[in-house]
Amino acid sequence: MILSSCAVRGSASDQSPLSKPLPTAPSDSCRDGETQARGAVRGGMVATPDPAATQAACEVLADGGTAADAVVAAQYVLGLTEPQYSGPGGGGLLVYHDAQTGTTASFDGTVYAPDDPEGSVGVPQTDRLMDSVRAHFGTKSLEELTAPARTLSTDGFEVTARLADAMEARSELFDNLPKAGDTLTNREYADHLAGLDGTDNPIEPSDPLCVDYQGNSVCGPHSTATGMMVVGETLGILDRLDLARLTPQHGTARATAQHLMMEAERIAFTNANTWMGDTTPDYVEEIVTGEHHLDAAADSIRQKKTLRGLTPEDLHGRSHRYEDSEDQGTSQVTIRDSAGSMASLTTTLQRSFGSGEKENGYFLNNSLDNFSSRARAGEPNHRDAGAHPRTTMSPVLVFAKGDDPLMVLGSPGGRKIPSYVVKTLVGMIDWELTPEEAVALPNVGATNRNSVYAAKDGREQARMRDLLEDWGHDLEPGSYDSGLSVIRVRDPRVAGAADPRRDGSVAGFDLQ
């Protein structure tokens, strides 16, 4: 998807104590995604699943905004143009690296359970999350950052085929069903954004969880209720299996790499769907980053043969029941500003259009359905007032040796998110692929301990599927358009890509 140029907006205001306005770029400065894929940009960059959101964030960066400012602008546009996936009625996870202070922080803006023990709607957190990251690392006001979304809400935006299909799938929620190419307005949403005046209860950032992979540090949310637990454990296992030797250009080698990734993800999901949400440090220390466990898990994987009868690890004599998870409606924003700050935000309503309940022009989530139905009080992922349900969202930042920023990425996709993130990391780190090449890799992975999938992407991938099935994998068919976006840093250049299979778009600019 190719974007038009960015228009420069007015001067920054409401400057936070931690951030300073960045240099501005001239009008018509943003370049299209094809150019960035070749690594021609020396300024800021944005990648999202939606062109309008990418355009809005590009404008903010070109006007000297930080990555924090740009992520706010992008999210509020996504809440309008992709209302099935995210919005003020949901929540999200954000990891942020501030280049000025050297701070790397994680913001848990997922919804939590109210005092009422019934219902599926969690307390929405998106507005609180956006204002919190803006207050910590931004330079612009909410009025400035919501302006693109407010303008689109009143002037109208073009309906994509994906939105039209999503509305048709839940037609009971709508009086009229638009077609792709129609123009929609949402004045209620504009009024909601105009009324935002910040939160008096900001989300406090925490240290991220960082795991080692091939000498790099991969950092994501520290909460045990997130998909970072799957990503972290999977990478710890794969770090012991030398995927660099299995070049993706060779058919059997690529199938072998796909097999190893699926097996590692199956092991990680076996533990995650048992221990995610554990309030003790045991899960992270003994399983996700536990050297003894990771060694044993890697040793258990066999080439060309699937594991059978996977069972979760016990923790200090504690055992717990395995229960599959479910996520559907998610979106992603990936940003690097001209000063080097990076933001990865994954947001969700859980199901497409969430609970189906609508207020102020947006839909409310149904994320409380992610609590374990069989968990008892005191057990992981039990529904208690104030508790956050588990989620597979996995926004990550990657730092090379010496803590130099290397890449920022994340993906929508529900239970497939960890595998989308892992295949991209393997592609770019082990196989030294460009962002565009890594995103274009066929989507293959596990979604729980017994479910695996492999996209049908032509004759070559059909051969890979045949090999995987010969080795014991029962593959779910499908196209699996991830929506993943990634930005790679090789100072002074940055390069990015967003999955074109989900209207992905990238925009960036050179500083003059």
Residue-wise pLDDT tens digits, 201-242: 999 999 999 999 999 999 999 999 999 999 999 999 999 999
Note the pLDDT of residue 327.
66
d(CA 322, CA 45): 41
pLDDT, tens digit (0-9, with 9 covering 90-100), for 342-380: 999 999 999 999 999 999 999 999 999 999 888 888 889
121 touches 366 (CB < 8 A): yes
Q: What is the DSSP letter of 285?
A: I
Cβ-Cβ contacts under 8 Å for 462 (sequence gap 6 or more): 456
pLDDT at residue 81 is higher than 90: yes
Dihedral angle sign, alpha carbons of residues 272, 406, 207, 346 = negative
Note the pLDDT of residue 203.
96
305 touches 472 (CB < 8 A): yes
132 touches 203 (CB < 8 A): yes
Helices (H) and strands (E) in the chain, counts: 14, 19
Residue 340 located in a structural domain: yes
Residue 410 located in a structural domain: yes
Instruction: Tell me which residue of 80, 61, 63 sits closest to 71, measured CA to CA.
Output: 61
| Mean pLDDT confidence for 86-107 | 97
pLDDT at residue 7 is higher than 50: no
Residue 359 located in a structural domain: yes
**Domain that residue 199 falls in:** 44-310+322-509
Residue 453 located in a structural domain: yes
Give me the percent of the chain exceeding a pLDDT of 90.
74
CB atoms within 10 A of CB 385: 11
pLDDT, tens digit (0-9, with 9 covering 90-100), for 302-332: 989 999 999 999 987 776 788 877 666 799 9
Note the pLDDT of residue 31.
61
Q: List, as own/partner pairs, every contact residues 102-106 make where C-beta atoms lie below 8 angstroms and the sequence separation is at least 24, other chains included.
A: 103/18, 104/207, 104/208, 104/219, 104/397, 104/399, 105/136, 105/205, 105/206, 105/207, 105/208, 106/205, 106/206, 106/207, 106/208, 106/209, 106/219, 106/220, 106/221, 106/222, 106/223
Note the pLDDT of residue 201.
92
What's 431's domain CATH number? 3.60.20.40
Q: Which residues pair with 455 in a beta bridge?
A: none
d(CA 171, CA 495): 39
Note the pLDDT of residue 512.
62
pLDDT at residue 130 is higher than 70: yes
Residue 413 located in a structural domain: yes
pLDDT at residue 198 is higher than 60: yes
Exposure string over 344-380, b if 16+ CB within 10 A, otherwise e: bbbbbbbbbbbbeebeebbbbbbbbbbbbeebeeebb
Identify the weakest region by mean pLDDT among 37-46, 84-93, 321-330, 474-483.
37-46
Residue 306 located in a structural domain: yes
Cβ-Cβ contacts under 8 Å for 286 (sequence gap 6 or more): 293, 313, 315, 316
Residue 29 located in a structural domain: no
Note the pLDDT of residue 18.
43
Dihedral angle sign, alpha carbons of residues 274, 323, 110, 412 = positive
Residue 3 located in a structural domain: no
Note the pLDDT of residue 460.
72
The number of distinct structural domains making up the chain is: 1
| Mean pLDDT confidence for 476-490 | 87
Cβ-Cβ contacts under 8 Å for 89 (sequence gap 6 or more): 124, 126, 349, 354, 359, 362, 363, 364, 365
pLDDT at residue 446 is higher than 80: yes
The larger pLDDT score, comparing residue 32 to residue 193, is at 193
pLDDT, tens digit (0-9, with 9 covering 90-100), for 265-282: 999 999 999 999 998 899
Beta strand segments in 257-388, E? 329-336, 342-350, 358-359, 362-363
> Tokens in use for 257?
């790499």
DSSP H helices in 426-490:
435-440, 459-470
